């Protein structure tokens, strides 16, 4: 057997590919003959059985080709009728505005040895005029300092009790590292996905000798102060009429081995709450959503269905993006059939873009936006969903093919897919929640997971507060500091980022 990875000669590679292509055709013919014989022995229709096996092979080949050459994006190439209209406007080149950066003006002067006049031998004197030499963006390295704090003592001449200056806010009463230090460690790990080991190396390059266990101790202590706000965010989300739910896996690495835990998420447009559980069961879903009353936008995972059957207080609305994804997966084998339904689904998404986002509105503007959304869905979206259903009933595909699976997935969840037509508060998809799971995916790629159950709790706290602050347009670092200071002065105090002005 030739190891293709070791071949570098192009002609040899071509010969290997040709030989493998011939062998593949031979194996297909052999498979067809064996499938026919097996079907006759089992009393099945040999033609139908052969078609099923060939369909499976085509889907496997298409799946492998997509892995090798396909795009990971779910965007489709659109056909444009007018090339002139389809051309994108060329982006103008120029400097990007940087309103958040501090501006420092630096003047360049002549060295003393160059201040002699080349004409008369006199001395050059500054005129007060400057030539603009442009601007540049530079970097100021992070600096660590050992600050020795002293509290000045005051006393009156009347010999009353002396009064000392107030002590600074400390992360822990006898801790050596400041609150700002702990916040920086948390932001670097859970927002910038920088593992503690890498932070240790970077700190040592700047003169600070430290280890990962010390950094973890700062995160652990800071998470205790932030826990009440973490619970408050959960209460805030559960008070919404419509929420999103999703889950993804997370690694728990212990001395006895590695286990797969699960991150469960609840979202609104301006908040996200994460909870980690050892399982992906219905009981885990009940822990997250057991007390919620409202509408849950989610995928078709069975745990949500089981919980909804046993809990009439909330209703499941299913996601059209998941339906679209099923047909995208089948498109490589059934392009003509899938193009029809994908075009119709894309029309549904385009209609949603015509309505202004109502989440950030209040009062009459919000009511107007919801009324406009209801009108568009009733007059345009409802007709499109009827065409999609009509298309689905007309499809004839082998039972186990990707096209049949995608079509059945859609029809089996048809009633919950149409809930968005009845309530303008319900979104058409759950993409917002899926986007909020990306930070966990990036985190597990960079620092792999957590090393203890407490580590999963700490990760959930920081990811919840940092991502919620981002959704509210609040500086995550500043939000952590305000919440931590408030909890240090008043243990148990919780604060939301909504409405905070920095």
Residue 89 pLDDT: 55
Residue 164 has pLDDT above 60, yes or no: yes
Let me know: does 303 contact 280? Beta carbons within 8 Å. yes
Let me know: does 411 contact 341? Beta carbons within 8 Å. no
DSSP string, 98-116: -TTS----------GGG-B
Alpha carbon 415 to its chain centroid, in Å, reads 28
CA distance 191 to 185: 10
Q: Tell me the two tokens of residue 373.
A: 């959304």
State how many domains the chain has: 1
Q: Which of the two residues, 215 and 115, has the higher pLDDT score?
A: 215
Residue 35 pLDDT: 57
Q: Tell me the two tokens of residue 448.
A: 């792999």
Residue 378 pLDDT: 94
CA distance 143 to 207: 8
Q: Tell me the two tokens of residue 163.
A: 């009064």
- Is residue 270 assigned to a domain? no
CA distance 272 to 300: 21
Residue 81 has pLDDT above 70, yes or no: no
CA distance 388 to 349: 14
3-state class (DSSP) for residue 21: helix
Rounded mean pLDDT, 297-320: 90
CA distance 436 to 341: 28
Which DSSP letter does residue 450 get? B
DSSP string, 111-143: -GGG-B-TTTS-B----S---------------
- Is residue 269 assigned to a domain? no
Which of 128-132, 250-254, 481-485 is predicted with the least confidence, judged by mean pLDDT? 128-132
- Is residue 387 assigned to a domain? yes
Domain of 366, in residue numbers? 336-423
Residue 490 has pLDDT above 90, yes or no: yes
Q: Tell me the two tokens of residue 200.
A: 């240790």
Residue 383 has pLDDT above 60, yes or no: yes
3-state class (DSSP) for residue 262: strand
CA distance 485 to 170: 9
Rounded mean pLDDT, 181-196: 96
For CA atoms 17, 20, 22, 25, give the dihedral sign: negative
pTM, to two decimals: 0.81
Instruction: Tell me the pLDDT of the chain averaged across its residues.
Output: 85
Cβ count within 10 A of residue 300: 16
Rounded mean pLDDT, 213-237: 97
- Percent of the chain residues topping a pLDDT of 70: 83
Residue 465 has pLDDT above 90, yes or no: yes
Let me know: does 124 contact 113? Beta carbons within 8 Å. no
Let me know: does 153 contact 163? Beta carbons within 8 Å. yes
Q: Residue 427: name the closest of 173, 241, 206, 225 by CA.
A: 241
pLDDT single digits (tens) 427-450: 999 999 999 999 999 999 998 889
- Is residue 301 assigned to a domain? no
CA distance 388 to 465: 41
Rounded mean pLDDT, 113-135: 82
Residue 271 pLDDT: 96
Helix (H), strand (E) counts: the chain: 18, 7
CA distance 224 to 492: 10
499 confidence band (pLDDT: 50, 70, 90): confident
- Is residue 371 assigned to a domain? yes
Residue 232 has pLDDT above 90, yes or no: yes
- Is residue 442 assigned to a domain? no
Let me know: does 463 contact 190? Beta carbons within 8 Å. yes
Residue 32 pLDDT: 62
Cβ count within 10 A of residue 176: 11
Residues 6+ apart with CB under 8 A from 116: 122, 123, 124
Which of 71-85, 288-302, 403-417 is predicted with the least confidence, judged by mean pLDDT? 71-85
Cβ count within 10 A of residue 241: 11
3-state class (DSSP) for residue 91: coil
- Is residue 400 assigned to a domain? yes
CA distance 446 to 443: 5
Residue 227 has pLDDT above 60, yes or no: yes
Residue 461, exposed/middle/buried by CB under 10 A (0-12, 13-18, 19+)? buried
Q: Which of the two residues, 398 and 282, has the higher pLDDT score?
A: 282
Residues 6+ apart with CB under 8 A from 281: 303
Which of 57-71, 155-169, 357-371, 458-472 is predicted with the least confidence, judged by mean pLDDT? 57-71
Rounded mean pLDDT, 133-144: 84
Let me know: does 149 contact 162? Beta carbons within 8 Å. no
Q: Residue 250: name the closest of 449, 395, 70, 59 by CA.
A: 449
CA distance 268 to 241: 9
Residue 479 has pLDDT above 50, yes or no: yes
Give the Å distances, CA to CA, from 491 to 10, 50, 225, 231, 440.
70, 70, 7, 14, 29
Residue 266, exposed/middle/buried by CB under 10 A (0-12, 13-18, 19+)? buried
Rounded mean pLDDT, 345-367: 87
Q: Which of the two residues, 311 and 17, has the higher pLDDT score?
A: 311
Residue 8 pLDDT: 65
Let me know: does 266 contact 244? Beta carbons within 8 Å. yes
- Is residue 407 assigned to a domain? yes
Cβ count within 10 A of residue 351: 17
Q: Residue 264: name the closest of 440, 16, 432 by CA.
A: 440
């Amino acid at each position: 057997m030739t190891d293709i990875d070791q071949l570098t000669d192009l002609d040899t590679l071509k010969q290997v590919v040709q030989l493998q292509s011939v062998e593949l055709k031979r194996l297909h013919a052999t498979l067809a003959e064996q499938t026919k014989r097996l079907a006759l022995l089992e009393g099945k229709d040999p033609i139908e059985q052969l078609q099923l096996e060939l369909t499976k092979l085509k889907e496997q080949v298409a799946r492998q080709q997509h892995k090798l050459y396909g795009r990971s994006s779910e965007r489709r190439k659109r056909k444009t009728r007018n090339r002139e209209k389809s051309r994108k406007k060329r982006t103008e080149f120029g400097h990007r505005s940087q309103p958040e950066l501090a501006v420092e003006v630096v003047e360049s002067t002549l060295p003393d040895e160059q201040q002699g006049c080349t004409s008369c031998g006199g001395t050059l004197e500054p005129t007060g005029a400057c030539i603009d030499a442009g601007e540049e963006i530079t970097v100021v390295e992070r600096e660590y300092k050992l600050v020795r704090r002293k509290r000045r003592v005051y006393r009156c001449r009347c010999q009353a009790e002396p009064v000392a200056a107030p002590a600074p806010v400390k992360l822990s009463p006898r801790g050596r590292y400041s609150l700002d230090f702990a916040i920086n460690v948390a932001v670097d790990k859970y927002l910038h996905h920088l593992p503690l080991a890498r932070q240790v190396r970077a700190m040592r390059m700047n003169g600070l000798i430290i280890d990962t266990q010390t950094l973890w101790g700062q995160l652990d202590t800071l998470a205790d102060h932030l826990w009440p706000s973490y619970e408050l965010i959960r209460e805030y989300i559960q008070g919404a009429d419509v929420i999103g739910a999703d889950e993804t896996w997370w690694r728990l690495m212990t001395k006895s081995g590695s286990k797969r835990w699960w991150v469960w998420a609840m979202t609104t447009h301006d908040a996200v709450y994460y909870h980690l559980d050892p399982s992906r069961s219905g009981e885990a879903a009940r822990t997250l959503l057991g007390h919620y009353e409202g509408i849950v936008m989610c995928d078709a995972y069975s745990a949500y269905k089981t919980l909804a059957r046993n809990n009439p207080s909330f209703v499941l609305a299913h996601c059209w993006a998941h339906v679209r994804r099923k047909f995208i997966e089948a498109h490589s084998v059934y392009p003509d059939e899938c193009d029809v339904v994908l075009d119709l689904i894309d029309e549904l998404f385009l209609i949603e873009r015509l309505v202004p986002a109502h989440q950030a509105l209040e009062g009459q503007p919000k009511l107007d936006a919801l009324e406009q959304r209801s009108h568009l869905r009733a007059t345009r979206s409802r007709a499109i969903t009827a065409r999609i259903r009509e298309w689905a009933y007309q499809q004839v595909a082998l039972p186990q093919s990707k096209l049949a699976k995608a079509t059945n997935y859609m029809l089996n969840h048809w009633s919950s897919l149409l809930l968005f037509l009845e309530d303008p508060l319900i979104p058409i998809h759950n993409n917002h929640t899926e986007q909020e799971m990306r930070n966990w995916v990036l985190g597990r790629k960079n620092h792999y997971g957590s090393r203890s159950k407490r580590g999963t709790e700490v990760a959930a706290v920081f990811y919840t507060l940092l991502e919620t602050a981002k959704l509210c347009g609040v500086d995550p670092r500043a939000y952590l500091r305000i919440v931590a200071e408030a909890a240090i002065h008043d243990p148990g105090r919780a604060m939301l980022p909504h409405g905070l002005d920095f």
